[in-house]
């Protein structure tokens, strides 16, 4: 069975059945996950090793061209400028397909703050090399591991991802403190300290691990720092329910949808902090 058919069948009822982009994806991705949110909306996340990037490039161009033909923003030029600024010597790359033609494309490599700034300046996204540099210093890493380009109808957005080692115990506590410090800089639309309070409520449980893993901390790399997201590795589905209750989030529908589709062993759990209420989600492998 082709991947497009298998993905549509597995995501039936969660992801829009009439999205033609799934059929345009290169077949046999190296990774594929469902990204399930509290309201049971779902994105499809796919990944390909670096040597397959030309296939993904064709896919992005086709998506952008189709959107333009239907009267939406034409992001093909922005995509080309971004690639010219970043280069295509990649470890791997991928895309996240969402509702309303939303598309995020990510590149995995090793990017220093000037490279991040150049990449996003090329598409008019105001990434701050100072913020990126400060975040690298905060977590004791030298480079950004992934850059994401968000292509929505009305905007082009930026995201960067740091890969951080988590060994549990005291090291996890120190990592939690560093994430809290970063989150404290988010603009507090939800009230003073809303993001940091949410993080402190769940940091211990979310970062607890019996084995070494990588935690991915992603954020909006602009001076405003509108959001920070933390993705941890494989966790029991029940933990998502525990975290949701601790944060005061309605997680029942997401848990029920996950059980109904046998998404019971999440590949990772994601927590997004912003000036508004936190957002909790799970990812489950489709292959």
Question: For position 34, what pLDDT does the model report?
Answer: 97
Exposure string (b/e) for 5-20, b if CB count within 10 Å is 16 or more?
eebbebbeebbeeebe
Question: For position 87, what pLDDT does the model report?
Answer: 84
Whether residue 107 contacts residue 86, with contact meaning beta carbons closer than 8 Å, is answered with: yes
**pLDDT score of 193 more than 80:** no
Q: Model confidence over 93-120: pLDDT tens digits?
A: 999 999 888 899 999 999 999 889 899 9
Whole-number Å distance between alpha carbons of 69 and 148: 24
Whether residue 119 contacts residue 85, with contact meaning beta carbons closer than 8 Å, is answered with: yes
What average pLDDT does this structure show over 239-263? 95
Domain residue limits, the chain: 3-285
**pLDDT score of 190 more than 60:** no
pLDDT band at 247 (very low <50, low <70, confident <90, very high): very high
pLDDT band at 179 (very low <50, low <70, confident <90, very high): very high
Whole-number Å distance between alpha carbons of 61 and 68: 11
Own/partner pairs, 54-63, CB within 8 angstroms, 24+ separation = 55/26, 56/26, 56/93, 56/94, 56/95, 56/105, 57/83, 57/88, 58/26, 59/21, 59/24, 59/25, 59/26, 59/95, 60/95, 60/103, 60/105, 60/151, 62/24, 63/21, 63/24, 63/101, 63/103, 63/151
pTM above 0.75, yes or no: yes
Which tokens belong to 67?
């959107």
- Average pLDDT, rounded, for the chain: 92
CA distances from 182 to 192, 217, 273, 276 (A): 15, 10, 10, 16
């Amino acid at each position: 069975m082709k991947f497009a058919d298998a993905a549509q069948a597995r995501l039936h009822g969660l992801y829009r059945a009439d999205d033609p982009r799934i059929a345009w994806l290169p077949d046999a991705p190296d990774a594929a996950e469902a990204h399930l949110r509290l309201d049971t909306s779902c994105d499809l996340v796919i990944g390909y090793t670096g040597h397959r990037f030309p296939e993904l490039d064709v896919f992005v161009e086709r998506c952008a061209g189709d959107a333009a033909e239907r009267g939406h923003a034409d992001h093909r030029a922005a995509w080309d400028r971004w690639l010219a600024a970043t280069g295509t010597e990649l470890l791997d790359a991928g895309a996240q397909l969402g509702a309303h033609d939303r598309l995020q494309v990510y590149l995995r490599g090793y990017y220093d703050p000037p490279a991040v700034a150049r990449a996003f300046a090329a598409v008019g996204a105001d990434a701050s090399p100072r913020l990126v540099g400060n975040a690298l210093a905060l977590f004791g890493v030298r480079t950004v591991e992934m850059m994401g380009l968000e292509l929505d109808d009305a905007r082009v957005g930026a995201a960067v991802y740091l890969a951080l080692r988590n060994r549990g115990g005291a090291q996890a506590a120190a990592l939690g403190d560093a994430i809290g410090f970063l989150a404290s800089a988010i603009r507090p639309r939800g009230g003073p300290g809303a993001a940091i309070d949410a993080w402190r409520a769940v940091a211990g449980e979310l970062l607890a691990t019996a084995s070494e893993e990588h935690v991915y901390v992603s954020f909006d790399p602009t001076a405003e720092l509108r959001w920070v997201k933390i993705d941890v590795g494989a966790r029991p589905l029940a933990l998502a329910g525990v975290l949701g209750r601790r944060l005061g989030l309605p997680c029942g529908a997401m848990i029920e949808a996950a059980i109904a589709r046998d998404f019971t062993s999440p590949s990772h759990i994601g927590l997004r902090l912003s000036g508004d209420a936190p957002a909790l989600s799970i990812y489950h492998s489709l292959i």
